[in-house]
């Protein structure tokens, strides 16, 4: 299986190189040349498999330059009971909300309590093996721009992994108190964390630029290092996410929520478009899906795009209670455009060039038709998000985080507007305790405590929902990182963190 660049189809590399490199040199993203199929027989066989075995089946279809043993080793090291609390790292919880049955796919039982762990616990294993195959013995420098959850999950996945160094940038006012605390107290000898004055898009743009800068690449090469990425532009991030949609379908069948072969709907709270794209890729492999419901917060650029075919990032940026979705440039949309244009690299590059120069583009009519046949877009503002947390708890005694609440709210609107009662899976992406202030505020129960950890405690007292151990243990932990930089200085911060002096 080869991987092509979305902006230059003539590039074709094996998965190890795609993963080691992270992004194609032309600025495009690596995509599989075609989608391997899951036959009906295979899907049936997966019904009785563990999550881990389902993962091995699906991953083997894509990493054809890895041996079966290597893939088994990656999967078995990543999805352990120790790290995810139970045999199935992605369990389904069913609730009734406003009269409809919703199946919440809880993806936040990993070490950092957000769905990013599903990919970032396995990516370091993929990457170290990829470096052996395609990295020429170099050390990998992982550059991360984060809106909160990726940063911590990547730090936790890569800490003290041989031949890797990891540098994380986050917007100084764009993450929750718990997220900041999680990152600033990170342990490990190969980690560095820095805040930037700017928003997530500023961080992501600067990281992409440093990443593809040939001078910086040459300097790294001299020091036997190379850049790689743990953002969802890396193929090694998306691939493990395909698995849980297939696994969720199997669990839905096993629980009697859907008849084998019948379609489901999938709702995803969306930011960078990685999670929902992985679901779409599962559909491309043959998973029976009717509709993808793309849920946004007040940064509703994707809602407008799906409804009108116009992507326009020239708009106000809002800092919301669901910070991991505060994004106006959804990187992985590029992969969807490539797929929906029939693998047309010229057309895709055209849209991306317009996005860079004008901040907007309009897709062709056939592409818009295709988009609307599979996707429905909606958004939840701050009020709707808080009301959903409140009502879901009141109705079902189920506590959800702010991002999941956006998805529940939009899914609820979709069902009411369309009358579509296809069984639905909603990606539940974070533990409510990562966003205690907003969640507690939404429940509207008395005075708000001052400190983050007192909020956690109060939330626990009110709801009885278990506080995840990795969050509870942060209390009183020493801060290791407190640097803040301007976005213009990120490049020198990177070189400094690597111990490279460029002006002798």
Ligand X SMILES: *Cc1c(COP(=O)(O)O)cnc(C)c1O
Residues that bind ligand X (CB under 6 A): 114, 116, 149, 232, 269-275, 324-325, 403, 429-430
Quick one: 16 or 145, whose CB is closer to ligand X? 145
Tokens of 494: 């990177």
Rounded least distance, CB 150 to ligand X, Å: 6
Hunting for tokens 């979709």 — which residue is that? 414
192/165 Cα distance (integer angstroms)? 8
Rounded least distance, CB 137 to ligand X, Å: 32
Quick one: 93 or 497, whose CB is closer to ligand X? 93
Rounded least distance, CB 239 to ligand X, Å: 13
Polymer length of the chain? 504
Rounded least distance, CB 330 to ligand X, Å: 7
Q: What angle do CA 411, 412, 416 make, to 5 degrees?
A: 115
362/345 Cα distance (integer angstroms)? 16
Q: How far is CA 426 from CA 107, 199, 315, 438, 498, in A?
A: 10, 27, 28, 21, 40
1/89 Cα distance (integer angstroms)? 28
Hunting for tokens 């899907």 — which residue is that? 43
Tokens of 129: 């093996």
Among 110, 55, 122, 101, residue whose Cα is nearest residue 81: 110
Q: CA-based Rg of the chain, rounded to a whole angstrom?
A: 21
Rounded least distance, CB 326 to ligand X, Å: 10
Residue 478 burial (CB count, 10 A): 7
H-run or E-run covering 177:
helix 177-184
Q: How far is CA 160 from CA 141, 155, 227, 234, 390, in A?
A: 13, 9, 17, 20, 41
Whether the CB-CB separation of 193 and 151 falls below 8 Å is answered with yes
Rounded least distance, CB 504 to ligand X, Å: 40
Hunting for tokens 């489901």 — which residue is that? 264
Rounded least distance, CB 108 to ligand X, Å: 7
Whether the CB-CB separation of 367 and 240 falls below 8 Å is answered with no
430/182 Cα distance (integer angstroms)? 14
Quick one: 110 or 269, whose CB is closer to ligand X? 269
Rounded least distance, CB 452 to ligand X, Å: 17
Quick one: 413 or 497, whose CB is closer to ligand X? 413
Quick one: 246 or 405, whose CB is closer to ligand X? 405
Rounded least distance, CB 278 to ligand X, Å: 8
Quick one: 228 or 429, whose CB is closer to ligand X? 429
What is the distance of C-alpha 213 from the center of its chain?
A: 25
483/132 Cα distance (integer angstroms)? 33
Quick one: 158 or 200, whose CB is closer to ligand X? 200
Greatest CA span in the chain, whole angstroms? 68
Rounded least distance, CB 429 to ligand X, Å: 3
Paired strand residues for 267: 293, 426
Quick one: 55 or 278, whose CB is closer to ligand X? 278
Quick one: 273 or 305, whose CB is closer to ligand X? 273
For helices 51-62 and 68-78, angle between their N-to-C axes, nearest 10 degrees? 140
Question: What is the DSSP code string of 209-270?
Answer: HHHH-HHHHHHHHHTTEEEEE-STTSHHHHHHHHHHHHHHHHHHHHTTSS-TT--EEEEEE-
Quick one: 66 or 169, whose CB is closer to ligand X? 169
Rounded least distance, CB 241 to ligand X, Å: 8
Rounded least distance, CB 229 to ligand X, Å: 14
Among 405, 411, 428, residue whose Cα is nearest residue 377: 411
Rounded least distance, CB 218 to ligand X, Å: 31
Quick one: 280 or 351, whose CB is closer to ligand X? 280
410/426 Cα distance (integer angstroms)? 10
Among 341, 374, 424, 429, residue whose Cα is nearest residue 147: 429
């Amino acid at each position: 299986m080869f991987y092509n660049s979305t902006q230059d189809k003539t590039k074709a590399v094996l998965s190890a190189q795609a993963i080691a490199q992270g992004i194609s040199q032309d600025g495009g993203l690596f995509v599989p040349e075609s989608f391997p199929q899951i036959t009906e027989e295979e899907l049936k066989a997966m019904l009785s498999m563990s999550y881990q075995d389902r993962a091995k089946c699906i991953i083997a279809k894509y990493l054809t330059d890895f041996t079966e043993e290597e893939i088994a080793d990656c999967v078995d090291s990543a999805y352990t009971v120790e790290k995810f609390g139970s045999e199935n790292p992605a369990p389904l919880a069913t609730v009734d909300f406003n009269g409809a049955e919703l199946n919440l796919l809880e993806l936040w039982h990993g070490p950092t309590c957000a769905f990013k762990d599903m990919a970032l616990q396995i990516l370091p294993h993929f990457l170290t093996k990829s470096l052996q195959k395609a990295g020429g013995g170099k050390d990998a420098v992982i550059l991360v721009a984060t809106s909160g959850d990726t940063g911590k999950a990547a730090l936790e996945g890569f800490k003290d992994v041989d031949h890797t160094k990891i540098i994380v940038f986050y917007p100084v006012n764009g993450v929750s108190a718990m997220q900041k605390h999680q990152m600033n107290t990170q342990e490990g000898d190969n980690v560095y964390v820095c805040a930037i004055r700017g928003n997530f898009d500023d961080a992501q743009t600067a990281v992409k630029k440093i990443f593809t800068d040939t001078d910086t690449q040459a300097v790294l090469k001299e020091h036997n290092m190379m850049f790689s990425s743990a953002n969802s532009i890396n193929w090694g991030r998306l691939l493990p996410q395909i698995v849980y949609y297939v696994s969720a379908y199997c669990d839905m069948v096993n629980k009697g929520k859907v008849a084998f072969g019948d379609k489901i709907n999938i709702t995803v709270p969306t930011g960078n478009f990685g999670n929902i794209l992985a679901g779409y890729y599962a559909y491309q492999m043959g998973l029976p899906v009717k509709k993808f419901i793309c849920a946004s917060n007040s940064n509703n650029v994707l809602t407008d795009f799906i409804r009108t075919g116009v992507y326009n990032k020239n708009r106000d940026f809002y800092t919301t209670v669901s910070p991991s979705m505060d994004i106006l440039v959804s990187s992985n949309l590029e992969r969807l455009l490539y797929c929906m244009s029939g693998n047309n690299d010229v057309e895709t590059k055209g849209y991306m060039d317009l996005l860079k120069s004008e901040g907007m583009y309009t897709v062709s009519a056939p592409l818009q038709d295709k988009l609307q046949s599979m996707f429905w877009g909606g958004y939840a503002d701050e009020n709707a998000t808080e009301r959903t947390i409140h009502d879901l708890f009141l109705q079902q005694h189920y506590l959800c985080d702010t991002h999941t609440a956006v998805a529940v709210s939009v899914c609820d609107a979709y069902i009411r507007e369309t009358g579509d009662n296809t069984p639905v899976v909603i990606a539940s992406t974070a533990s409510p305790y990562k966003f205690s202030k907003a969640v507690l505020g939404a429940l509207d129960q008395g005075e708000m405590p001052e400190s983050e950890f007192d909020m956690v405690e109060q939330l626990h007292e009110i709801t009885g929902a278990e506080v995840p151990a990795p969050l509870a243990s942060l209390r009183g932990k020493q801060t290791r990182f407190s640097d803040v930089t301007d976005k213009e200085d990120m490049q020198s911060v990177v070189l400094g963190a690597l111990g490279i002096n460029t002006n002798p």
